[in-house]
């Protein structure tokens, strides 16, 4: 994505400001990537109320070259990160 295209997206984002009465004005944050698709497959054990297995697939489109993407996954344990198009060399979980 060109710098002009990124600037255009930023300007559009600034137009979409929102505020509740008594609050500060907030803008939709501009990120250097967008999530185009997300799917979640879960395998619950309903008898014991636990999650046996889970697989999430996210398709992310970067607007520029990125050195990292940070995802907040709460209490989930990530065991593998992969990509069909790029080499992911430094995957890590941070508490």
**Domains of the chain: total:** 1
Distances (CA, A) of 30 to 13, 26, 27, 53, 81: 7, 12, 9, 33, 25
pLDDT at residue 86, as a whole number: 80
Based on its alpha-carbon atoms, the radius of gyration of the chain, rounded to whole angstroms, reads 18
Residue 1 domain flag: yes
Domain assignment of residue 66, yes or no? no
Query: pTM (2 decimals)?
Result: 0.49
CA 58, 36, 10, 3 torsion: positive or negative? positive
Per-residue pLDDT at 69? 80
Domain range holding 16?
Answer: 1-30
Residue 5 lies in a domain: yes
pLDDT, one tens digit for every residue, the chain (95 residues): 677 777 777 677 666 666 667 776 666 666 788 888 889 999 999 999 998 888 888 888 888 888 888 777 777 777 778 888 888 877 777 76
Instruction: Give the model's pLDDT for residue 15.
Output: 62
Residue-level pLDDT at 34: 84
Residue 41 lies in a domain: no
């Amino acid at each position: 994505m060109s710098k002009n295209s990124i600037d255009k997206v930023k300007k559009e984002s600034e137009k979409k400001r929102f505020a509740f009465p008594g609050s500060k004005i907030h803008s939709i944050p501009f990120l250097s990537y967008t999530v185009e698709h997300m799917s979640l497959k879960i395998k619950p054990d309903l008898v014991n109320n636990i999650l046996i297995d889970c697989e999430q697939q996210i398709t992310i489109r970067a607007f520029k070259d990125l050195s990292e993407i940070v995802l907040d996954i709460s209490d989930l344990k990530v065991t593998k990160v992969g990509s069909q198009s790029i080499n992911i060399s430094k995957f890590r979980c941070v508490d």
